[in-house]
Structure 1
């Protein structure tokens, strides 16, 4: 973000937080009306029919696989800081496959181990983050925030595109929230708890991201633009080399937690598509004795492995953000369509009438306009593949 716009990154975090919050509020309203697994695809299915619902659901599954792949790639890239041997492509690929196998085993036996490891990851990374912020407060330097916007952005009259590019970067840090309602059927009182969880997650993450950016700018200043591990570099500058190692370990724990969370929720999307309304072949949704969708799990990680062996990390991240908006826009439109549906419970209603859903749609369209043509083409290709799968499945059922 700093490389795109400078110290104004702190404002970008706040703007992104508000934009994500209006989108999350749309999810919160719809989550209060449904208890089924599936989230965005369930909302789109009820609002706009089978085809739109399938496209959103299929794309949510693809998005999850993309994020899983990019996070595993990021984990191995960070791990290479400790073990340079991982820069060898053969060892990298072998390590990626072993991680996928480990995640299949963890998920095969149900949620207990995944839940324990995810909670351990969350607690560990928060301790590291708050340590970084607590120490960083004593190094606060207001002069590092001048100039607020990079001079080249002002001189080139590229403020609009720079803001869009910076927002696109930080949006990846928020993409996980849309997966929170996917396992609604497994939650206690989801109609009440999911809206609360969505809003509190966005608010909490926004504060953490803001503090991380403020402290990083205070310590590194303009050097932030060329740092590949900025928080680690900043902590190292404050406390010495052990600080760098601590942050990298914290990063590995953090990424590991994201990987575990997504490895649990992503197969549920395919299972939900298969078992509810038969939008995918039924065998994909079959569950084992631990109540896990074992076939969906295997297919998910097979596709994840293909991406890991052939995909580019930065490209995968950009594609993941693009794919997120394919869910956000139909979800916001579904709020407008389903709000007055008398067959659904009233639940939580976003204040302000249609204002928030319309803002969610407009902000999503603005951010989509900032992607390059390659991302746009590949992103739309996913929708085409989804349409082909849908019509083949429809023909199979009809016959």
Structure 2
């Protein structure tokens, strides 16, 4: 594994924690409470607990793998180091592609939110112009330096979390305990269906760790930042669902467009509704800025390791010490997806791709323990292989809830990537001859 020459290690515990929280708290939590209530009823809290357990197990795997392999690239780098170029290629494309799709979907959700505030955003040229200015402004900021990018992330994180905390703080005292009473336990099929959807709101830790080559003292910073950020998000999500359900009861399922804003309207009146609508827009805005900071590093890492034969993507700007070509390339592709796609398209495929990526990280922890010589200060998950094996089992259960069509589609995608890998490998072999 080549080192990340030219990149500066300038991200500390707070910066990395904010980066992870910013990515995780995106569009999902502002819409999913109503959908989960529609499936689970008053037992919705079980889905949050189940997803919270899974994400905790997974991030422990990330924490150990991240201290063993702390180059730029995040989960792609862990899997490539453990299992070689083929697995790394599949993981890298899955990570990069799913991040682009997810970011484009959130961008469309952001435009939809803005349409509720002003109809001018319904005009196609306004929508395209807004997306272009937003994406390439973020690209410019992140090319200027990772400190500037992380500074924007910290601000976005504070702005997006503040209205959620206001909702929780003022809502807890107005909860009706009757709305939280669980009459019957959910069926396993309901738990699987709701958790597969809800888990979209928990995605993002892997993206926040892509900047591994720019993290100060990664053996200490990565585990601390992961545990702080994940713990905070899980607790906040559970409190949000409790408040929304405690205030609106079964009626929560009827407000699929903006359940948090409708809850805030009951608590704080029209001001609360506007506050949460703006909060949702800021949250999506921050999620997209986080994607432009983090995701281009996957293209950088794939090029750095010669997994894809485009060396320009691994160039580092001589003045700003950032992977400027990778940032521009990622931003351009994501902008095109945002302009041509919609929020609903490919969301399940993106989630399935990331679950497969998580599966690879859990497996890589077991492999890296055998092949990697432990160094002083490295984080190691207690309990031997229990946590990675539990992670593998739960991820497989989640994936089993995909429809046959989605499973076939994912299989075809992997087959196409495998053929592409063979072609690229032969091309590189001829170039070396």
Given that residues 281 and 393 in structure 1 are in contact (C-alpha distance below 8 angstroms), is that contact kept between their aligned partners in structure 2? Answer: no
Match of 1:281 among 302, 310, 315: 310
Q: 1:9 to 1:61 in 2, by over 3 A?
A: same
Match of 2:176 in 1: 141
- Equivalent in the alignment of 2:329: 299
CA deviations over 1:198-236 (Å, ceiling 9, x no partner): 122111100000000000001111111121211110010
Q: Is the 8 A contact 1:274 1:285 kept in 2?
A: yes
1:173 offset after TM fit, Å? 1.3
**Whole-angstrom distance in 1 between the partners of 2:385 and 2:217:** 27
Residues of 1 paired with 2:180 and 2:112: CA distance?
Answer: 30
Contact kept, 8 Å, 2:314 with 2:323, in 1: the verdict is yes
Two-structure CA RMSD over aligned residues (Å): 1.9
- CA distance in 2: counterparts of 1:203 and 1:234, whole angstroms: 24
CA distance in 1, matches of 2:54, 2:426: 40
Using the TM superposition, give the Cα deviation of residue 342 of structure 1 relative to its aligned residue in structure 2, in angstroms: 4.7
Tell me the equivalent position of 2:339. 309
Alignment of 1:386-397 (within 5 A): 386-397=417-428
Q: Secondary structure at the match of 1:362?
A: helix
Alignment of 1:14 onto 2:14: no
The equivalent residue for 1:130 is: 165
Task: Please list the CA deviations of residues 256-281 of structure 1 after superposition, one character each: whole Å capped at 9, or x if unmatched.
Answer: 11111111111100001101244342
Match of 1:369 in 2: 400
Residue of structure 1 equivalent to 2:9: none
Match of 2:209 in 1: 181
**CA displacement at 1:3 relative to structure 2:** 0.9
Distance 1:167 1:68 in 2: 21
> 1:87 offset after TM fit, Å?
3.1
Please identify, of 290-299 and 4-13, the stretch whose mean Cα deviation from structure 2 is larger: 290-299
C-alpha distance in 2 between matches for 1:234 and 1:276: 49
Residue 197 (structure 2) pairs with residue 162 (structure 1): no
2:210 is the alignment partner of 1:210: no
1:341 aligned onto 2:371: yes
How much has 1:344 moved relative to structure 2?
Answer: 4.5
Report whether the alignment pairs 1:4 with 2:39: yes
Any idea what the Cα deviations from partners look like across 1:107-154, whole Å, max 9, x if unmatched?
22222332222111111222211111111011110111245559xxx7
1:270–1:280 contact (8 Å) kept in structure 2: no
Quote the Cα distance in structure 1 between the aligned partners of 2:271 and 2:37. 25
Equivalent in 365, 385, 390 of residue 359 of structure 1 = 390
State the Cα distance separating 1:98 from its structure 2 match: 2.9
* Cα deviation, residue 184, structure 1: 1.1
Note if 1:87 corresponds to 2:117.
Answer: no
Aligned partner (choices 72, 82, 87) of residue 37 of structure 1 = 72
Q: Does 1:75 align with 2:110?
A: yes
Matching of residue 235 in structure 1 with residue 255 in structure 2:
no
- Residue 270 (structure 1) aligned with residue 295 (structure 2): no
Using the TM superposition, give the Cα deviation of residue 89 of structure 1 relative to its aligned residue in structure 2, in angstroms: 4.2
Question: Which of residues 208, 222, 237 is equivalent to 2:250?
Answer: 222
Structure 1 pair 177–66 and aligned structure 2 pair: CA distance change class (3 A): same
Q: 1:257 to 1:390 in 2, by over 3 A?
A: same
Aligned to 1:350: 381
Partner of 1:51: 86
* Separation of aligned partners in 2, 1:173 and 1:11: 15
Whole-Å separation in 1 of the counterparts to 2:175 and 2:309? 54
SS in 1 for 2:245: helix
Deviation at 1:60, TM superposition (A): 0.9
Correspondences of 1:109-128 after superposition (within 5 Å): 109-128=144-163
The answer on whether the counterparts of 1:64 and 1:266 sit within 8 Å (CA) in structure 2 is yes
Match for residue 59 of structure 2?
24
Q: Supply the distance in 1 between the matched residues of 2:277 and 2:360 (Cα, whole angstroms).
A: 38
Structure 1 residues 382, 100: CA separation in 2 closer, same or farther (over 3 Å shift)?
Answer: farther
The aligned length equals: 392
- When structure 1 is superposed on structure 2, of 102-111 and 5-14 the one drifting more is 102-111
Compare 190-199 and 298-307 and name the one that shifted more: 298-307
Give TM-score scaled by structure 1 length.
0.92
List per-residue Cα deviations over 1:282-315 (Å, max 9, x = no partner): 1222222322222222221222123223323123
Distance 1:68 1:218, change over 3 A: same
| Contact kept in structure 1, 2:77 and 2:301, CA below 8 Å | no
